[in-house]
Amino acid sequence: MPIICPGWIMTEKLIFILILIQMLVVPVLADDKCDDPCMKQVEFIEEKSKKIDSIRSSFRQVKKLSFMNSEVVSSGVFLFRKDKNKNQVRWEYTSPFSYIIVIDGDNIVMKDNKKVSRFDMSSSKIFEEINEILIKSLNGTILTDRKNFSFEYADKGDEFHVSMVPGKESLKKYLKEIQMVISKKDYAVSLLKMIESSGDSTTLFFTDKKINGNVSGKEFEVK
């Protein structure tokens, strides 16, 4: 039987999903200091990243707890797939615990051991603002969304580094900054770091990436 999550869990997941989508639609915007050659490079990366239809990757997550000066490390498998007018994302944590979160269009499904929780993002007006940003991310208009984020961009040889700072107070409450590293080998994200207002951070390292390989829609079904 599906179990409905309380509101505060929904908020957390929505923010997380927003970040995920930000990650998938590579926000290769330059800041105001980005000159013409820089912008051309940005546009080139943007075009390349738009051609990514699927990703299969291992991931390692490092959570730094500033208050305790501790780290919690977990790992698993990440899947991404473009399906007609929606994006599908699956995170499967395999170590040191089992946990699955799937985002399939407007639906979020979480599986913890045998318990499955389902959440329809459109069911809550409270999160309209965040959802609007999510939709903009899905259709790519986030790339010009300077209203919600300010961007900084740096070319580092084989990598592109992107820093996003939320502009809206509702996001600022939770997130101070999002940092990304995009590999020039596959134009997919290889590192995503989310820095919270509390000083904690969550860093995701993506390895063994397979771009545009076979990722089935059935892999996003959770029972």
Partner 1 sequence: MAEKAAEPFSSIDTVTYKVALNLYSMYFSGLLVIKKIEADHHKFALISETGFKLFDMEIINGKAEIMNVFAELDRDSVKKTFKEDLTALVLSGFNQSECKSYGFKDHKDILFMCPERRDIATFTQIDPVTGVVKKVWKAEDMDEKFVEINYGFENNQFSKPKFITIIHFNVNLRIELTLLEDGNVQ
User: Given the complex with partner 1, which of 66 and 216 has the nearer CB atom?
Assistant: 66
Q: What are residue 153's DSSP bridge partners?
A: 162
Q: Cα angle at 192 between 177 and 188, to 5 degrees? A: 130
The residue among 44, 117, 131, 49 whose CA lies nearest residue 82 is: 49
Query: Distance between CA atoms of 91 and 110, rounded to whole angstroms?
Result: 10
Residue 6 found at the interface with partner 1 (CB under 8 A): yes
Site string for partner 1, 183-212 (x = CB under 8 A): -----------x-x-x-x-x----------
Number of residues that bind partner 1 (CB under 8 A): 41
**Contact with partner 1 (CB under 8 A): which of 32, 37, 51, 70?**
70
Q: Which stretch binds partner 1 (CB under 8 A): 91-99, 141-149, 158-166, 214-222?
A: 91-99
The residue among 121, 105, 111, 102 whose CA lies nearest residue 220 is: 102
- With beta carbons less than 8 A apart as the criterion, state whether 179 and 195 touch: yes
Q: Which residues bind partner 1 (CB under 8 A)?
A: 3-9, 11-13, 15-16, 61, 63, 65, 67-68, 70-74, 91, 93, 95-97, 99, 101, 110, 112-113, 115, 117, 173-174, 194, 196, 198, 200, 202
